[in-house]
A = this chain, B = another copy of it.
Amino acid sequence: MKEFTINFTAQKKKIKVAQGTDLLTAAIKSGIMVHAACGGSGLCGKCKVFVNKKEVLACQTIVESGLDVNVPKESLEIRAKLAHESEEFTKGVVLKREDAFNFSPLVRKIYVESPKPTQDDNLSDLDRICTGVSHKLNNVHISTNLSNLKHLSEILRGSDFKVTATVAYKDDALDIITVEPGDTTKANYGFAFDIGTTTVAGQLIDLNNKNILGTRIAFNKQALYGSDVITRIIYASNSEGLDKLNEAVLDNINEIILDLSGAESIALSDVYCIVFAGNMTMMHLLLKVDPTNIRKAPYIPTTLVFETIHAPEAGIEINPRGIAAFLPGVTTYVGGDIVSGVIACGLAESDELSLLIDIGTNGEIVLGNKEWMIGAAASAGPAFEGSGLECGMKAVKGAIQRAEIDKDLNARVVTIGDGKPKGICGSGYIDLLCQMLKRGVIGKNGKINSDLKSGNIRKTEVGYEFVVAGNIVITEDDIENLKRSKGAIYSAIIALLNKVEKPLGDIRKIYIAGGFGNYLNIENAVLIGLLPDADRSRYEFIGNSSLAGARMSLLSRDAFMKAHEIYKNITYVDLGSEPNYMDEYVASLFFPHTDLGRFPSVRL
């Protein structure tokens, strides 16, 4: 097999790769994080690099000789930008419910000043520490690991019996994970993580005062092996496939940990706890648990509840005695990310009927209150994440986020970061659909009105398309795709209401979570029939609620325990088995709906 040297000039990295490797893989192997939002299919067009001054897509360029490659800045991941936006937003969300749960982080540091042993006070060294700890935390059972005992007697006597015990909650008991000389209580940090199919988001938290010290978001490096959970599960069944997927996400996680800790000059040894929320496939891949049967009927995960482990068991690089905890899932399709969202929005603690809609790669929905909850997964697909559409992209720099269409059928667009438009993200599509409906560019069935005279309406080999800006278009296929997505979500909401025989008006709070979060225009989302026509004041954006719930669980054992009640209390509704769901779905395949009576506020 031939090997060639690839020289990444701007990044000053060289790598030898086998003939036939693509440049994206080569770059990532060299530690250069080139954009790969589409999983290497070339659709996103983000991995532009220069070879002999010629612009090519790294993922589409196969190595057939030694090359000098220049990766421009814009092709590198824009974590900082993403992170800033997310931090602003998730901070806001969490603050509202800051005091919902008792402050009791999963890992605490307890400073213990023991009296020195005497003939009359001859408690063992361990009992001496346990007494000190239970003095401050009322716990019946306190245990510790053998390795902490080995030099305990020396540590105690070397520090004049003044030590700091780092304790972790483990079921109902306390586990002493380290004992250090002196008072080190000030240095106690943790991470909350949302492991999404597309993005991985992490937050560094000071466990002494709840402060968020930083947030980072990165594209899930597993995208290299498949853009959605199904293709990744298939990839996992290849030899070493699971290993590679696992390494990819661990890379994401450890990079974020190192990055955020480094920015705050925090030693990894002072990070003791990490809490993960994510869908069940992501949790299986994170823990290198065979995900095969998640994909095969009847879609059985290995487990819905992953027990708390020591971080190194999962390859997570924090204090080697630190712990990793996981939010439990309801079913294969309603995972720990949704349970985490329920924690974040408070649905399970409220007397009032509430609805949580998490619009991400799928579209999970929970309806209920503190008495009962039902949940479902709509097969919405990732259209609102910009995936699978002609010019779709994530809500990152250059994406059309808002749009208007004037009476001459010319679109005026606003992009994220105000740069040149590069594509359209979810909220952009919603605005555009609205405007196209209002201007009559499309009818209620979503077909483009070819009778309209405008240079922006073009016929192609596969049908009509509407030109938004430059090369950026919406095709009839895109509209069909978006219609199915919005129909799936809307009809899932109605199916849940029907299930419990409640009218829409009974819902007091509708929480909107997920990727496009704060960019979404509710009015427009109702107008296209994505969201039901409820009182607008009942809607609330909660952003990445999976991350927020993980953070709340990190900061409160009560929240974490609550999540372990919630997952059992959510009854999963399999929409496919609901008698009227198909009728509802078909009826929703219009803008906003076949039954306009359901959308009284909508005037088209």
Q: Which A residues lie at the B interface, using CB under 8 A? A: 117-119, 122-127, 141, 143-144, 146-147, 149-154, 157, 171, 173, 287-290, 292-293, 297-307, 309, 313-314, 331-332, 574, 577
- Sample 28 A-B pairs with CB under 8 A, ordered by A number: A117-B298, A117-B300, A118-B298, A122-B298, A122-B300, A122-B332, A124-B300, A124-B301, A125-B300, A125-B302, A125-B303, A127-B304, A143-B307, A144-B307, A146-B309, A146-B313, A149-B287, A149-B289, A149-B303, A149-B306, A150-B287, A150-B288, A152-B303, A153-B290, A153-B292, A153-B302, A154-B292, A157-B293
- Chain B residues lying within 8 Å of A287, measured Cβ to Cβ, are 146, 149-150
Report whether B122 and A303 are in contact in the complex, using a CB–CB cutoff of 8 Å: no
Q: For A300, give its contact among B153, B154, B289, B293 (CB under 8 Å).
A: B153
Q: How many copies of the polypeptide does the oligomer hold?
A: 2
Q: For A141, give its contact among B154, B171, B290 (CB under 8 Å).
A: B171
- Chain B residues lying within 8 Å of A147, measured Cβ to Cβ, are 313
- Chain B residues lying within 8 Å of A313, measured Cβ to Cβ, are 146-147
A43 to chain B minimum Cβ distance, whole angstroms, is: 32
A493 to chain B minimum Cβ distance, whole angstroms, is: 23
Q: For A122, give its contact among B118, B292, B299, B302 (CB under 8 Å).
A: B299
Beyond known contacts A149-B302, A152-B302: 4 more, CB 8 A cutoff = A119-B298, A125-B300, A149-B289, A150-B289
Report whether A306 and B124 are in contact in the complex, using a CB–CB cutoff of 8 Å: no
- Chain B residues lying within 8 Å of A127, measured Cβ to Cβ, are 303-304
Report whether B153 and A119 are in contact in the complex, using a CB–CB cutoff of 8 Å: no
A598 to chain B minimum Cβ distance, whole angstroms, is: 30
Report whether A124 and B302 are in contact in the complex, using a CB–CB cutoff of 8 Å: yes
* Pairs A-B, 10 closest by C-beta atoms: A126-B303, A119-B298, A117-B300, A153-B293, A125-B302, A149-B289, A124-B303, A124-B304, A124-B301, A152-B302
- Chain B residues lying within 8 Å of A332, measured Cβ to Cβ, are 122
Q: Kindly state the separation between the CA atoms of A306 and B287 in the bound complex, as whole angstroms.
A: 30
A232 to chain B minimum Cβ distance, whole angstroms, is: 16
- Chain B residues lying within 8 Å of A152, measured Cβ to Cβ, are 289-290, 302-303
Report whether A301 and B125 are in contact in the complex, using a CB–CB cutoff of 8 Å: yes
Q: Kindly state the separation between the CA atoms of A127 and B306 in the bound complex, as whole angstroms.
A: 12
A291 to chain B minimum Cβ distance, whole angstroms, is: 8
A157 to chain B minimum Cβ distance, whole angstroms, is: 7
Report whether B306 and A146 are in contact in the complex, using a CB–CB cutoff of 8 Å: yes
Report whether A150 and B290 are in contact in the complex, using a CB–CB cutoff of 8 Å: yes
Report whether B119 and A577 are in contact in the complex, using a CB–CB cutoff of 8 Å: yes
- Chain B residues lying within 8 Å of A574, measured Cβ to Cβ, are 119
- Chain B residues lying within 8 Å of A303, measured Cβ to Cβ, are 124-127, 149, 152
- Chain B residues lying within 8 Å of A124, measured Cβ to Cβ, are 300-304
A397 to chain B minimum Cβ distance, whole angstroms, is: 39
- Chain B residues lying within 8 Å of A146, measured Cβ to Cβ, are 287, 289, 306-307, 309, 313-314
Q: Kindly state the separation between the CA atoms of A143 and B150 in the bound complex, as whole angstroms.
A: 27
Q: Kindly state the separation between the CA atoms of A458 and B143 in the bound complex, as whole angstroms.
A: 61
Q: Kindly state the separation between the CA atoms of A574 and B122 in the bound complex, as whole angstroms.
A: 11
A182 to chain B minimum Cβ distance, whole angstroms, is: 19
Closest residue on chain B to residue A572 by CB atoms: B122
- Chain B residues lying within 8 Å of A302, measured Cβ to Cβ, are 124-126, 149, 152-153
A90 to chain B minimum Cβ distance, whole angstroms, is: 28
- Chain B residues lying within 8 Å of A290, measured Cβ to Cβ, are 150-154
Task: Pick the most buried of A127, A153, A292: most chain B CB atoms within 10 A of its CB.
Answer: A153
A151 to chain B minimum Cβ distance, whole angstroms, is: 6
Closest residue on chain B to residue A130 by CB atoms: B303
Q: Kindly state the separation between the CA atoms of A147 and B141 in the bound complex, as whole angstroms.
A: 26
Report whether A119 and B297 are in contact in the complex, using a CB–CB cutoff of 8 Å: yes
- Chain B residues lying within 8 Å of A173, measured Cβ to Cβ, are 171
Q: Kindly state the separation between the CA atoms of A173 and B143 in the bound complex, as whole angstroms.
A: 14
Q: Kindly state the separation between the CA atoms of A302 and B119 in the bound complex, as whole angstroms.
A: 15
Q: Kindly state the separation between the CA atoms of A352 and B124 in the bound complex, as whole angstroms.
A: 31
A474 to chain B minimum Cβ distance, whole angstroms, is: 37
Q: Kindly state the separation between the CA atoms of A574 and B118 in the bound complex, as whole angstroms.
A: 13
- Chain B residues lying within 8 Å of A118, measured Cβ to Cβ, are 298
Q: Kindly state the separation between the CA atoms of A171 and B175 in the bound complex, as whole angstroms.
A: 13
Q: Kindly state the separation between the CA atoms of A292 and B314 in the bound complex, as whole angstroms.
A: 35
A167 to chain B minimum Cβ distance, whole angstroms, is: 15
Q: Kindly state the separation between the CA atoms of A147 and B290 in the bound complex, as whole angstroms.
A: 11
Q: Kindly state the separation between the CA atoms of A594 and B306 in the bound complex, as whole angstroms.
A: 70
- Chain B residues lying within 8 Å of A143, measured Cβ to Cβ, are 171, 307
Q: Kindly state the separation between the CA atoms of A143 and B305 in the bound complex, as whole angstroms.
A: 10
Q: Kindly state the separation between the CA atoms of A143 and B118 in the bound complex, as whole angstroms.
A: 41
Q: Kindly state the separation between the CA atoms of A536 and B12 in the bound complex, as whole angstroms.
A: 91
- Chain B residues lying within 8 Å of A300, measured Cβ to Cβ, are 117, 122-125, 153
- Chain B residues lying within 8 Å of A154, measured Cβ to Cβ, are 290, 292
Closest residue on chain B to residue A144 by CB atoms: B307
- Chain B residues lying within 8 Å of A153, measured Cβ to Cβ, are 290, 292-293, 300, 302
- Chain B residues lying within 8 Å of A141, measured Cβ to Cβ, are 171
- Chain B residues lying within 8 Å of A309, measured Cβ to Cβ, are 146
Q: Kindly state the separation between the CA atoms of A173 and B173 in the bound complex, as whole angstroms.
A: 12
A436 to chain B minimum Cβ distance, whole angstroms, is: 39
Closest residue on chain B to residue A313 by CB atoms: B146
Q: Kindly state the separation between the CA atoms of A151 and B290 in the bound complex, as whole angstroms.
A: 6
A169 to chain B minimum Cβ distance, whole angstroms, is: 14
Closest residue on chain B to residue A329 by CB atoms: B124
A420 to chain B minimum Cβ distance, whole angstroms, is: 47
- Chain B residues lying within 8 Å of A171, measured Cβ to Cβ, are 141, 143, 173
A227 to chain B minimum Cβ distance, whole angstroms, is: 24
A577 to chain B minimum Cβ distance, whole angstroms, is: 7
- Chain B residues lying within 8 Å of A117, measured Cβ to Cβ, are 298, 300
